[in-house]
């Protein structure tokens, strides 16, 4: 294979990049997490505040990432950034975590919700009783039941493998799919919100309870806020996916920061609007008992036809988010392999399709395995813990790079430096501490998956030293 044939092609426009940001964020979270968060907070005002706060914090993280993205244009995104910030060890640990838990776990959770909503139309098969209760015990984590809700998990796995196949045959095709699906789901979210707010027989009183805080919540206020933030962060997660495909975006040092800015703002506005619409038609007590909250809200006032339309839009939304994640994430392992920090076979580019095909296949298979590891909420909680550990390091890395590369041209500089990145770093640290305290088992699952890559790191370091002797 010639050097030219082993290069990825710059086929993605600013629009496609923005749709990767927004499309990767808008997936399962906004249709699944509001019910969980309503049960944790039991207050409509707190629910809206948490969504806004999580959005603003995410926006600061995205702006910090945008500054760094303007410095580099290589495929691999934050893996490349961490390498410049902190060196090989942190970069490797991040790249390993992307494959082991952060993005593959995210894909598993998104596919899980896709399958749940598909189950609104089709009866899912169950595993035989003989294996349904089979469990695997993991230290610090507890029992895992891989065959529980087997029909949903099987459907999720099929969806992951199907979209892996689509992206196997070309980033341009995957980018077109992403743009079309994202435009459709943004339009459907706006339409749903406006129809519920304008035409539904809702109650504006559902949105305000006089700021009364339930005694159950006030007794564990910090923990409740932390758990609800974790849910909101899950819904906002995925904004950094576009950095993974920087090497395939036209004019990346300008378009990647722009796409992060536009995409994140779009999603914040949509999420707050959606939650206000949910609350308008569903009191907080009813909302917490409605895991498929969008379908419940539509069905309550528009009957089965309205619910069916919403379910279809959720299926499209999760399908698009999953595609965006699969399209972008495989490029991290590709970048690691190119720099001899991972299995070399993952650095191969398909001679015809110009995609990192082996990396895509490995990612798809492991995502399918993670589907079996737990329920939607379990998977998302250990993914978010792992992701925010590196988001914290990434924001601090803005300060590191300002010191290491003071004269390098920055197409975009974060507003309010150094205070804004430091606010993000401090908040991230407190959020992680609260997660360890209030959600210990899932935090430990995230830690175990991260450190499981250490033996491979030391093996590659040892091998590279031997080859240099």
Higher per-residue pLDDT: 366 or 5: 366
Does residue 465 surpass a pLDDT of 80? Answer: no
97 phi, psi to nearest 5 deg: -65, -35
Q: Give the CA diameter of the chain.
A: 76
What is the rounded average pLDDT of the residues 279-284? 92
Residue 38 CB neighbour total at 10 angstroms = 28
Residue 49: domain span: 4-468
Single out the residue of 237, 240, 238 nearest to residue 63, CA to CA: 240
CA 22 to chain centroid, in Å, comes to 11
Query: Would you state the pLDDT for residue 132?
Result: 79
Place of tokens 């790249």: 95
308 vs 421: CA distance, rounded Å: 43
102 vs 91: CA distance, rounded Å: 14
Helix (H) or strand (E) holding 142: strand 142-144
- In the chain, the number of structural domains is 1
Q: What is the mean pLDDT of the chain?
A: 84
CB burial class (10 A; 0-12, 13-18, 19+) of residue 178? buried
DSSP string covering 3-49? TGGGS----B-HHHHHHHHHHHHSSSHHHHHHHHHHHHH--HHHHHH
Please state whether 213 falls in left (phi above 0), alpha (psi between -120 and 50) or beta: beta
Query: Would you state the pLDDT for residue 367?
Result: 93
Helix (H) or strand (E) holding 64: helix 44-69
Q: What is the DSSP letter of 347?
A: G
- Nearest 10 degrees: Cα torsion 347, 348, 352, 354: 10
Asked if 414 contacts 143 with a C-beta cutoff of 8 angstroms, the reply is no
DSSP string covering 192-257? HHHHHHHHS---GGGG--TTPPPHHHHHTHHHHHHHHHHHHHHHHTTTTHHHHTGGGBSSHHHHHH
Helix, strand or coil, per DSSP, at residue 249 = strand
Residue 191: which CATH number? 1.20.1740.10
CB burial class (10 A; 0-12, 13-18, 19+) of residue 3? exposed
Does residue 174 surpass a pLDDT of 70? Answer: no
Residue 135 CB neighbour total at 10 angstroms = 12
Give strand pairing partners of 12.
Answer: 249
Burial 401-420 (b: 16+ CB within 10 A, else e): bbeeeeeeebbbebeeeeeb
64 vs 391: CA distance, rounded Å: 10
Q: What is the DSSP letter of 353?
A: T
Residue 399: C-alpha distances to residues 61, 91, 127 (Å): 13, 17, 52
Residues 282-307 pLDDT 10s: 999 999 998 888 888 888 777 888 78
**pTM, full prediction:** 0.80
Burial 299-308 (b: 16+ CB within 10 A, else e): bbbbeeebbb
Query: Would you state the pLDDT for residue 284?
Result: 93
Query: Would you state the pLDDT for residue 85?
Result: 95
Strands 136-138 and 142-144: antiparallel
Query: Would you state the pLDDT for residue 2?
Result: 40
Give strand pairing partners of 137.
Answer: 143
Higher per-residue pLDDT: 212 or 280: 280
Does residue 73 surpass a pLDDT of 80? Answer: no
Binned at pLDDT 50, 70 and 90, residue 275 comes out as very high
Binned at pLDDT 50, 70 and 90, residue 4 comes out as very low
CA triplet 360, 364, 368: central angle to 5 degrees? 175
Asked if 336 contacts 329 with a C-beta cutoff of 8 angstroms, the reply is no
The fraction of the chain above a pLDDT of 70, given in percent, is 92
406 vs 353: CA distance, rounded Å: 39
Helix, strand or coil, per DSSP, at residue 360 = helix
């Amino acid at each position: 294979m010639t050097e030219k044939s082993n290069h990825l092609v710059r086929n993605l426009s600013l629009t496609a990049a923005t749709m990767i940001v927004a499309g990767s964020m808008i997936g399962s979270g906004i249709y699944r997490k509001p019910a969980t968060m309503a049960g944790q907070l039991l207050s409509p005002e707190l629910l809206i505040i948490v969504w806004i706060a999580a959005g603003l914090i995410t926006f600061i993280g995205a702006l910090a990432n945008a500054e760094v993205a303007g410095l580099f244009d290589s495929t691999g995104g934050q893996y490349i950034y961490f390498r410049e910030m902190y060196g090989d060890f942190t970069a490797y640990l991040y790249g390993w975590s992307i494959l082991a838990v952060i993005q593959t776990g995210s894909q598993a959770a998104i596919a899980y919700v896709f399958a749940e909503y598909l189950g609104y139309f089709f009866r899912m098969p169950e595993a035989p009783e003989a294996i349904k209760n089979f469990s695997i015990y993991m230290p610090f984590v507890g029992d895992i039941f891989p065959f529980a809700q087997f029909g949903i998990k099987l459907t999720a796995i099929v969806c992951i493998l199907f979209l892996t196949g689509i992206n196997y045959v070309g980033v341009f095709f995957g980018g077109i799919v992403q743009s079309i699906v994202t435009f459709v789901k943004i339009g459907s979210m706006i339409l749903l919100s406006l129809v519920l707010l304008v035409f539904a027989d809702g109650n504006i009183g559902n949105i305000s309870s006089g700021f009364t805080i339930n005694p159950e919540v006030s007794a564990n206020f910090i923990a409740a806020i932390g758990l609800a933030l974790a849910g909101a962060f899950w819904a906002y997660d995925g904004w950094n996916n576009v950095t993974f495909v920087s090497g395939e975006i036209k004019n990346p040092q300008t378009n990647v920061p722009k796409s992060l800015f536009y995409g994140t703002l779009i999603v914040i506005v949509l999420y707050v609007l959606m939650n206000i619409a949910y609350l308008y038609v569903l009191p907080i007590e009813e909302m917490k008992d409605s895991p498929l909250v969008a379908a419940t809200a539509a069905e309550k006032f528009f009957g089965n036809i309205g619910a069916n339309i919403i379910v279809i839009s959720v299926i499209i939304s999760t399908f698009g988010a999953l595609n965006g994640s699969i399209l972008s994430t495989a490029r991290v392992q590709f970048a690691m392999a190119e720099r001899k920090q991972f299995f070399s076979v993952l650095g191969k580019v398909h001679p015809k399709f110009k995609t990192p095909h082996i990396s895509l296949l490995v990612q798809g298979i492991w995502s399918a395995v993670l589907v079996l590891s737990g329920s939607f909420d379990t998977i998302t909680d250990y993914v978010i813990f792992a992701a925010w550990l590196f988001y914290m390091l990434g924001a601090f890395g803005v300060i590191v790079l300002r010191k290491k590369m003071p004269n390098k041209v920055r197409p975009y500089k974060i507003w309010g430096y150094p205070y804004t990145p430091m606010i993000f770093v401090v908040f991230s640290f407190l959020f992680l501490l609260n997660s360890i305290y209030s959600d210990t088992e899932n935090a430990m699952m995230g830690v175990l998956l991260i450190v499981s890559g250490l033996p491979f790191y030391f093996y590659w370091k040892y091998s590279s030293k031997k080859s240099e002797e």
